[in-house]
Amino acid sequence: MAENPSFHSLDEFKMGQMTEQLIDVLDQLATVLESDGATHWSQWMRKAKAHLMNSDYYGVEYFLSALGGMGSLNDLVLGQHHVDGVWAWKPGYVELNTRFDALRSEAAALATAIKRAQ
């Protein structure tokens, strides 16, 4: 079996796959965040993705820095708004937050695995 010259080991191959998965999940996260007007966090995901697409490991660290602490991505709840000064839920907020939570968790797991492998 011929060896793939782009990868020196199985671990490197797996890292590349995880990084590609993380890039995809970050893109999906950015889209979900944009759909609810969370532009700050959407831009954060796109910046992390851009670093990773340029083979810059900082994208992992940058994404992970969004998690934890007050006001972090972990505190974000989507689907809230005000109608005539009264707080209300937008239609579909349960599904939106379920999707957001799944993507956030998947991205965190991938980024953590990549970080541990470094």
Within a domain: residue 2?
no
> Is the separation of the CB atoms in 42 and 30 below 8 Å?
yes
In a domain, 60, yes or no: yes
Residue 1 domain-assigned (yes or no): no
In a domain, 6, yes or no: no
- The mean predicted confidence, pLDDT, of the chain is 90
Q: How many domains does the chain have?
A: 1
Residues whose CB is less than 8 angstroms from the CB of residue 110 and which lie 6 or more positions away in sequence, other chains included: 18, 21, 22, 25
pLDDT at 11: 55
What's the full length of the chain, in residues?
118
Q: What tokens does 27 get? A: 């893109």
Tell me if 93 is assigned to some domain. Answer: yes
Domain contains 90:
yes
Any domain includes 4: no
| In-domain check, residue 47 | yes
**Residue with more model confidence, 72 or 2:** 72
Residue-wise pLDDT tens digits, 51-86 = 999 999 999 999 999 998 999 999 999 999 988 999
Which structural domain range is residue 50 located in? Answer: 11-117
